[in-house]
Amino acid sequence: MEGPATTAKARVGVREGGRWSMELEQAIRGRRSVRAFEDRDVPREPIDKALELASWAPSAGNLQSRDFVVVRNEETKEALAVAAGGQDFVAEAPVVIVAVANMERVMHYGKRGRELYAIQDSAAALQNLLLALHSEGLAATWVGAFNEAQVIRILGLPVHAKPVAILPVGYPAESPAPRDHLPFGEYVHDEKW
């Protein structure tokens, strides 16, 4: 049996002998986009824990220019599903988290901050969030296809807030097979393109 030190180290992905712990590798390989959820509520605690872990992602100037709106209201979820072009699984999830780029917080970096860093900050936090949810036994899908103006209106977002992704979250009711991945040599370029 693993001792508490080993377990704690593995949980935070500490390097051991030059390799990342298998637990981190398994979490990365095992996460799937899930679009069917069990018909049971998700307590607040694992959602809050995953959102807290999301905030450990890197961000430009450590400005952490991303916010999250956590939605449980049925009408709001249904409106978000419509805004996502009728992706009904959005409304069927017990919890929906909307990731929002906060352009005001990254103002220091001007146009590049608003147009690039705030989106990158959001994306980095989103991947942390997906992995953290997965490690809590929860599942989600990153939904990027949605009408931005509609989401802004539904959530009452301020002018400096740009919705980046809608994440329906719940306990998985399906186990999707891994998707195909590009061969390593097709996306990794040595020295030059």
Residues forming the site for ligand FMN (CB under 6 A): 32-33, 35, 87, 141-145, 176, 179
13-50 as b/e, with b when 16 or more CB fall inside 10 Å? eeeeeeeebeebeebeeebbebbebeeeebeeebbeeb
Which DSSP string corresponds to 94-144?
SEEEEEEEETTTTGGGHHHIIIIIHHHHHHHHHHHHHHHHHHTT-EE--B-
Residue 32 or 105 having the CB closest to ligand FMN: 32
Max Cα–Cα distance, the chain, nearest Å: 53
Residue 21 or 122 having the CB closest to ligand FMN: 122
Residue 94 or 168 having the CB closest to ligand FMN: 168
Q: Which residue is nearest to ligand FMN (CB)?
A: 144
Q: How far is the CB of 163 from ligand FMN (least distance, A)?
A: 12
**Residue 179, φ and ψ in degrees, nearest 5:** -80, 160
Q: How far is the CB of 58 from ligand FMN (least distance, A)?
A: 18
Residue 110 or 176 having the CB closest to ligand FMN: 176
Q: How far is the CB of 34 from ligand FMN (least distance, A)?
A: 8
Q: How far is the CB of 29 from ligand FMN (least distance, A)?
A: 10
